[in-house]
Amino acid sequence: MPPALAYFRRRWLAMLALEQRPLAFGVLGLLHLAALGILLRTEDDLVPCMAFVLAWAFLNCGWLALIRRPVVAASISLVTIVVLILLSQFKQDVLAMSANFLDLLIIDADTVSFLLTVYPNLKWWVAGTGAAVLPLIALFWWLDPLRTRRRWAAVGAAASLGALTVLSFINPMDREKAFQSVDYVSQFARSGVVAMVDLTTKGLLDSDGLIEDRLPAVLPPSCPVAQKLPHIVMVLDESSFDISTVPGVKVPPNYQSHFTSFDGKNRALTIEGAGGPTWYTEYNVLSGLSPRSFGHFAEFVTRIAAGRVTRSLPNALHQCGYQTYSIYPWLGAFLSARYFQKTLGIDHFLDAKDLHSKTVETDDFYYKAAADLIGREKGKAPLFVLSYLMANHFPWNERWRPELAPDWRDLGNVSVDGHHIDEYLRRQEMSARAYRGFVERLKRDFPNEPFLIVRFGDHQPLFAKRIIEPGLDNVSIGRQIDAGDPRYFTTYYAIDALNFRPADLSAATSGLDAAYLPLMVLEAAGVPLDPTFAEQKRILARCKGRFYSCSNGAEARRFNRLLIDAGLIKQL
């Protein structure tokens, strides 16, 4: 290019940049004002607001360190914030919980498959959003005349991240906020720094370092041949517990009989999740281990454990020839349920597609599926069936399937956050009737087949924490739960036996931690204990029914190390 043309080109570009600067500052101001508007609308307290501001500063400074353009950095940061809030709202629709950092850290093919199945138009929504946003960011890139120094941007990113980390540990998150439609950005940001600190200092699984103990490398005693082993049916009784233990709640006559075992005893089960995480108890009763060993990563226990944890009840049953089945009420990709259960020894996993079920089916539907399966497969080998129920899943704000209990009369209990306690009780009554029908069918159709049936509540209903101690605010409830108050973690388990006498019920104590339920099932069925369950029985005796909480977690950490050294927990 001739020198004269080059000179005029430089002068033109300089003048254009000078004219663009006021526009750039105006756009930059609007982007930051938009972020302020989101803050005021979604964050509800001083500490969350501070966390939002620090997260916003970190995003902007991080992008500035890479691209130096303030308008582009702010636009990308704003898009990130909006997408994060939408993801949180989506997760609340599915799990009643806000999104946190680990949702993105542990994203996998199952998660993508689940999202695309539940929301088939999601890919078009993402594509349309990208088609609208990317050209706008490209326009900002071309028009943005402002530049910052990378060094100062990097210092700003480091300072904001450090301040966010300090804030997150000085003011821990209120666990109840995860169930509310607030603080989306601050919860995500604070969970991120806490997760990264945990990852770098503890790893994913809490376990002892090198120890001298080892599990004995011996085979368990041979399976009994004199007595036919029973078919084992485990029933995950959704959101069910004995609500008569809560003062002031009116219940129907003979209500507690549903929680009574064949020997006339009512047994309490201590679960590990408050607020509705079924997958915590799912991990307990299949692996015999504790999700709390994963610390802040417990919410993702099934996704983390899939392919890494192989010690389990189904694998222990395989040694005596059991064929293992799971009747799962939702899509198998949900929280990697199919992959998780397959790696724990479930031979046949039947999800909503296999069962041709609708969104929510009656308990009769799943009991019928279990009975039909037993009818098809009995005789080939003893069967293990884990069947989930769904009818008592939230919400309890309307009369669901009123034709199924036309004789029901409300008892005058109060409503909590729009959920009717009487509707919860009505569904429990429906579930109790469905179970009685299931037992009658087993007696009628399989008079010579032995059965061990174990029902258990996976967690209390969402509203229970509001009525256990009325008058407590969210912060106080969160403190009670964080302190492990057993009132929030107690459900039930019940044992029934048809054409069969349980071999050993010494482990079937009241107040049993859910991680011991597989041990109880093995002993009741008469299946010999492998070295891992024999060791866990010794822990049960030492800890008197407690597992993770025993000795401040020392027993669980030691047991995890034993399983790691035995190759039954890998890559954790």
In tens, the pLDDT along 9-37 reads 554 444 444 456 777 778 888 889 999 99
The CATH code that applies to domain 231-525 is 3.40.720.10
**Once rounded to an integer, what is the mean pLDDT over residues 81-87?**
85
Q: Encoding tokens for residue 16?
A: 């254009």
Extents of the domains making up the chain: 16-201, 231-525
**Residue closest to 488 by CA, chosen among 480, 499, 476, 496:** 480
Question: What does pTM read for this prediction?
Answer: 0.85
> Exposed, middle or buried: residue 478 (CB in 10 Å: 0-12, 13-18, 19+)?
buried
Cα Rg, the chain, nearest whole Å:
28
- Residue range 106-117, pLDDT digits in tens: 666 666 666 656
Top mean pLDDT of 152-161, 175-184, 299-308, 519-528 is at 519-528
User: Cα separation of 318 and 315, whole Å?
Assistant: 5
What average pLDDT does the structure give for the chain?
A: 88
- Report the distance separating Cα 297 and Cα 280, nearest Å: 11
Question: Whose structure tokens read 């927990």?
Answer: 569
Scanning the structure block, which residue is given the tokens 């029985």? 537
Dihedral angle, C-alpha 55, 109, 563, 348, nearest 10 ° = 140
Residues in contact with 409: Cβ distance below 8 Å, sequence separation at least 6, in sequence order: none
CA distance 532 to 311: 8
Tell the residue number behind the tokens 């939230």, with chain if given. Answer: 394
**Considering only CA atoms, which of 188, 177, 176 is closest in space to residue 51?**
188
Q: CB atoms < 10 A from the CB of 6, how many? A: 10
Q: What is the pLDDT of residue 106?
A: 62
Q: What is the DSSP string of 484-546?
A: T-GGGSB--EEEEEES---S--TT--TTEEGGGHHHHHHHHHTPPPPHHHHHHHHHHHHHTT-
CA atoms within 13 A on the CB side of 154: 5
Calculate mean pLDDT across residues 173-189.
75
Is residue 319 very low, low, confident or very high in pLDDT (cuts 50, 70, 90)?
very high
